[in-house]
Structure 1
Amino acid sequence: MASLTSANAVITLRIPGLFNTPVTLQGFMTDNIYDTPTVEVNQTAMGVDGKLSAGFVFNPIDQTFYIQADSSSGDIFDTWWGNMITQRDTFRCFGETTLPALGTTYTSNNGALISWPPIPTAGKILQGRQALIRWENIVPNPL
C-alpha cells in the first residue's frame, strides 16, 4: 500500500519577470503545507414548479501556502510582493505540485498573489506566514 505522506511533495512556482525558472517552495509550517477550498462548478436555480436547473461555471481556485517564519521561501513571496508595490503592477505565476503518494502532478495556471503578510507575527517565537495565490485553473496530470 502506498504511503499518504505529503512530506515528499514538491511545489514549484515560476513568476515571469521575477523568477523565470521554477523555484521550489520549502520550509512549510508544522501541520500544513497548503490548502485549497472546494470550488463551485455549477450554478443552480430552483423553479417555482420544483424543477432544478444547473449550469457549469468557471471559478478561480484559491490556494493558501503555509510558510515557516525562517523559511527561505519567504524571500520568494517578499520579492514578489515587493516588486508589485514598487512597479505598481501584478506579476502572474505558474506552479506545479507533485504528490508522489497520489502519483499526480497538479499544474496551476495564471495565478496572482492575493495576500501576503509583510512581516511575521512575533510571539515567543516568530510565527509562520500564509501566502494566498488565486489560480485560473489547476489541472491534474498522472505521473
Structure 2
Amino acid sequence: MDGIRRGTFRYLILHVLSEGPMHGYGIMQRVQELFGGLYTPSPGIVYPTLQLLEDLGYVRSSRRGRRRVYSLTSEGKRVLEEHRAEVEEILALGRGFARFVEELGGSRLIGLLKRLFTEIPHMDADKRERLRRAVERFLAELTEVLGNAGGKGGGSD
C-alpha cells in the first residue's frame, strides 16, 4: 500500500461504526486499536469527517447525556460495502502496524524515531553524517530481509 488515499478515512469511520454506535472519542480509540497504537486520529479529522458523513446521510447522530453518539445508516452500510476493498486495504495496514509493534520491536523503533526527530536540529555535521550512514545500513538490511518483492512476501524466517 502506498499510503492512505485521500478520503479513505471516511470509509474507515464507517467500518468502525458498523461495529455499533459510538461517540467520537470511542471512534478515535477504536482506530488506535486497529493500528496497534501507532496512529490515533485527531479530533480535528474525526469530527469534521463525522459531520460530512452525517451531511451525506451515511451516519446519524443523537445525544446521549453530554455526548453525541453516531450510528451507521442503511445508506452508510451501502457505501461501506461499495468501498470494502479500500477498507480491507487500510485494515491490513493496521494489522501490519499492530504486528510490527507487538512482535518486532516497533514501539522501540518509534520511540527512537521520536527522539531522533527532536535531536536532529541540534546535531553537528559529523553526528548527522554518522546517523545518515546508520540509516543507510538499516535500510540495506531491511531491503535484504524483505527481498526484491517490493516489500511483499519476503518469507517467514
Kindly indicate which of the two structures has a greater share of residues assigned to helix: 2
TM-score (normalizing by structure 2): 0.21
Instruction: Kindly indicate whether structure 1 or structure 2 has the higher relative contact order, using CA contacts under 8 Å at least 6 residues apart.
Output: 1
Q: Which has the higher strand share?
A: 1
